[in-house]
């Protein structure tokens, strides 16, 4: 939990029965470094600018297609850094944290302050009836064909409206619990008010952006190099990452088994799990630790044997696990 979080705004550490690191070490790992945060933000913007610029210069299918896939991965990176901001862990200053978080989230269709409310429920009620993310990652493995069908649906853009509705705070239907969750109800009035204002801003931005692109003669570029990856490839990346983090877990009641840390080649983690979000067990254990300190947290847990038997896998083995055929009910 962040030190200054109030009831109705907190992200709880998931310590359900797990041995934990010393409090002094957790405090040290939770310390924020604005220089590292700026390095993450600026590196993200630099890759986006370079990729879009290269595609504009080499405006051919061979230049545009790779750009779409790289841009989509950096759109997910925008989400990941906005996720840190939603946890109040991007910058020390709350005002700067929320300003940059919203600036990264808004162009990718996310209301960061609304997501903050929704994401609290995921952390505080992981795999419980109030977890709004179960429809995305619950029930796996469901078979290779099922997973491929879902990812193809994402790549065609069919699921994009539902994704954006989620990030704007729409109720999340949970097939494993009766009724629906309304995440905005479980928070403080101040957060609800901020979320409502932020949603209006995001909607206004995405109504105005295409008009501005049209007025400046860049509508086709905007459509192909931003909206197309946003509504297609990004949707598949978001789904696959969420399933790898929480799908086909062994024990929904254990913090070491209800989330998964994925390891693998640096280039693949850069693409699928930007900014250390692959250290997902560590993130759920200690949500106050900023992304750049998660690898150190992982090492400390390993040195103390606290990850023995935990869901720590190579991404290739995770892919096999989540795409396996479901086990028949006895």
> For residue 308, with 0-12 CB atoms within 10 Å meaning exposed, 13-18 middle and 19 or more buried, which class applies?
exposed
Token pair recorded at residue 329: 């009910």
Place of tokens 């029930």: 139
pLDDT of residue 101: 98
What pTM value is reported for the model?
0.91
pLDDT tens across 46-100, in order? 999 999 999 999 999 999 999 999 999 999 999 999 999 999 999 999 999 999 9
Phi-psi region of 219 (alpha: psi -120 to 50; beta: other; left: phi over 0): alpha
pLDDT of residue 137: 85
pLDDT of residue 2: 46
- Asked if residue 133 lies in contact with residue 167, where contact means CB atoms within 8 angstroms, the answer is no
pLDDT tens across 285-305, in order? 999 999 999 999 999 999 999
Pairing of β 180-181 and β 172-173: antiparallel
Return the axis-axis angle of helices 233-246 and 61-86, rounded to nearest 10°.
50
**What's the start-to-end Cα distance of the chain, in Å?**
41
Token pair recorded at residue 225: 């190099």
Instruction: List the chain residues with pLDDT less than 50.
Output: 1-7, 172-179
Return the axis-axis angle of helices 61-86 and 94-105, rounded to nearest 10°.
150
């Amino acid at each position: 939990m962040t030190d200054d979080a109030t009831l109705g705004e907190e992200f709880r550490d998931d310590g359900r029965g797990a041995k934990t690191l010393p409090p002094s070490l957790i405090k040290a790992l939770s310390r924020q470094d604005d220089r590292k945060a700026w390095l993450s933000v600026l590196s993200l913007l630099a890759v986006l600018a370079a990729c879009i610029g290269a595609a504009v210069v080499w405006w051919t299918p061979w230049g545009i297609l790779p750009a779409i896939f790289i841009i989509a991965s950096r759109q997910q990176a925008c989400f990941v850094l906005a996720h840190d901001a939603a946890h109040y862990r991007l910058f020390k200053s709350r005002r700067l944290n929320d300003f940059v978080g919203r600036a990264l989230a808004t162009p990718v269709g996310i209301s960061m302050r609304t997501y903050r409310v929704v994401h609290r429920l995921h952390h505080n009620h992981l795999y419980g009836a109030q977890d709004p993310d179960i429809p995305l990652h619950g029930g796996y493995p469901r078979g290779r064909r099922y997973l491929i069908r879902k990812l193809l649906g994402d790549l065609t853009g069919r699921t994009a409206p539902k994704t954006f509705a989620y990030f704007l705070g729409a109720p999340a239907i949970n097939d494993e619990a009766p009724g629906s969750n309304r995440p905005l109800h479980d928070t403080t009035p101040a957060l609800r008010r901020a979320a409502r204002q932020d949603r209006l801003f995001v909607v206004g931005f995405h109504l105005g952006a295409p008009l501005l692109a049209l007025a400046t003669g860049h509508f086709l570029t905007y459509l192909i190099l931003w909206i197309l990856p946003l509504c297609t490839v990004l949707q598949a990346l978001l789904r696959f990452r969420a399933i790898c983090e929480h799908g086909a877990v062994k024990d929904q009641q254990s913090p070491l088994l209800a989330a998964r840390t994925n390891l693998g080649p640096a280039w693949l983690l850069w693409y699928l799990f930007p900014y250390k979000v692959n250290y997902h067990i560590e993130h759920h254990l200690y949500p106050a630790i900023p992304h750049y300190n998660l690898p150190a947290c992982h090492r400390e847990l390993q040195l103390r044997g606290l990850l023995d038997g935990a869901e720590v896998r190579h991404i290739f083995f995770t892919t096999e696990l989540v795409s396996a055929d479901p086990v028949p009910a006895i």
